Amino acid sequence: MAYLYLDDSKHHPAGFSLAAFVICETDPSGHVEAIFRGLGFDPRNFEYKSSAKMAGDDRLQKLRSAMMHYVGTNCRIAVCVVEGDRRLGPAALRLLHSALSHPNLEGQDHEVFFDEGLFQSPKSAADLASIEGKFTQCRMHFEQDSRKLLGIQLADLVAHTCSTMLLETLGHVTKKVVLEAPGDSAYDGQEVELGFEMWACIRYAFLSMAKQHSKDELGEATVKVFPWGLFIDESTSERVAAAAMRRFGENYLGCIH
């Protein structure tokens, strides 16, 4: 069994919205609560939101990093991209169908939680899922309150992170950061693109499978994310669709030091 949580990040000026599933083998609530409390946040009355201003707030930055580390080491990720945001819910269901065909998820029962606002109502969402007819192994929870579900707060972080990576691919983000790498890493103190730093933190988490019959060294270290961990809705413009496929369609897992 897996626990899947979905949230979205909207970027209308850039021509897309992105939704992300965080996929956990066990209920992540206890682990995430411990992260919150360890940094002085009470999960009963505090909600992590990626949209919050974090510049100059050391605790929030540490919380974001700790949550990102948890995702990168304990979870899997799948994302979908749409034009606007009206098709986020249907696209998320299409993404879920693709993700469930992955060998690690196929043939099992799952709990699936969707944030609020992705469908017109819980009934319309259930009706659409029923029409699809592909989710008999899933217990679906629509219109969930992110304040009460820490798994959705993890999905909020991942949706924002992956959106920033796509914005950079599209040329909308050019920010660079100075890395603080442990030990004798060659990256310590090096200035890199923000998207590279984000990708490096979660690159092992994308739902993927090994490429078959790779003929070069880089190919052997590159896995396929599409179609299990990426769905691009037909509404998406050619420019955004191509950028999403470039950014997420395959993933390099080799050495980056």
Q: Give the separation between CA 104 and CA 121, rounded to whole angstroms.
A: 30
Peptide bond into 122 cis (omega under 30): no
> 161: which 2 tokens?
């992170």
Q: What digits encode the pLDDT tens for the residues 239-257?
A: 999 999 999 999 998 876 5
Query: Rounded mean pLDDT of 48-61?
Result: 92
Q: For residue 178, what pLDDT is reported? A: 59
In this predicted structure, which of 119-128, 143-152, 185-194 has the lowest mean pLDDT? Answer: 185-194
Q: Give the separation between CA 103 and CA 148, rounded to whole angstroms.
A: 30
Would you say residue 171 lies in a domain? no
Amino acid at 202: I
The rounded mean pLDDT for the chain is 90
Q: What digits encode the pLDDT tens for the residues 127-136?
A: 999 876 679 8
Closest CA to 250 of 75, 237, 228: 228
What confidence tier does 183 reach under pLDDT thresholds 50, 70, 90? low
Would you say residue 26 lies in a domain? yes
Q: Give the separation between CA 227 and CA 27, rounded to whole angstroms.
A: 25
Q: For residue 166, what pLDDT is reported? A: 96
The answer to whether residue 143 scores a pLDDT higher than 90 is yes
Q: How many helices (H) and strands (E) does the chain have?
A: 8, 11
According to DSSP, the β-strands at 2-11 and 16-24 are: antiparallel
The answer to whether residue 126 scores a pLDDT higher than 60 is yes
Which residues make Cβ contacts (< 8 Å) with residue 172, sequence separation at least 6?
Answer: 14
Query: Rounded mean pLDDT of 222-237?
Result: 97
Q: For residue 17, what pLDDT is reported? A: 98
Q: For residue 176, what pLDDT is reported? A: 62
Would you say residue 182 lies in a domain? no
Q: For residue 131, what pLDDT is reported? A: 79
Amino acid at 62: K
Would you say residue 16 lies in a domain? yes
> 80: which 2 tokens?
């979908």
What confidence tier does 173 reach under pLDDT thresholds 50, 70, 90? confident
HSE-up of residue 181 (Cα within 13 Å, Cβ side): 18
Question: Among the residues of the chain, which ranges form H helices?
Answer: 29-38, 58-74, 88-99, 122-132, 150-169, 194-202, 217-220, 238-248
Q: Pick the more confident residue, 136 or 207.
A: 207
Domain that holds residue 237: 2-162+206-251
Would you say residue 114 lies in a domain? yes
Would you say residue 221 lies in a domain? yes
Q: Give the separation between CA 163 and CA 88, rounded to whole angstroms.
A: 14
Query: Rounded mean pLDDT of 66-83?
Result: 97
The answer to whether residue 219 scores a pLDDT higher than 70 is no
The percentage of residues in the chain with a pLDDT greater than 70, rounded to a whole number, is: 88
**CATH number, domain with residue 225:** 3.30.420.10
Instruction: Count up the domains in the chain and report the number.
Output: 1
Query: Rounded mean pLDDT of 223-232?
Result: 97
Would you say residue 179 lies in a domain? no
Would you say residue 181 lies in a domain? no
Q: Give the separation between CA 225 and CA 232, rounded to whole angstroms.
A: 12
What confidence tier does 209 reach under pLDDT thresholds 50, 70, 90? very high
What confidence tier does 221 reach under pLDDT thresholds 50, 70, 90? confident
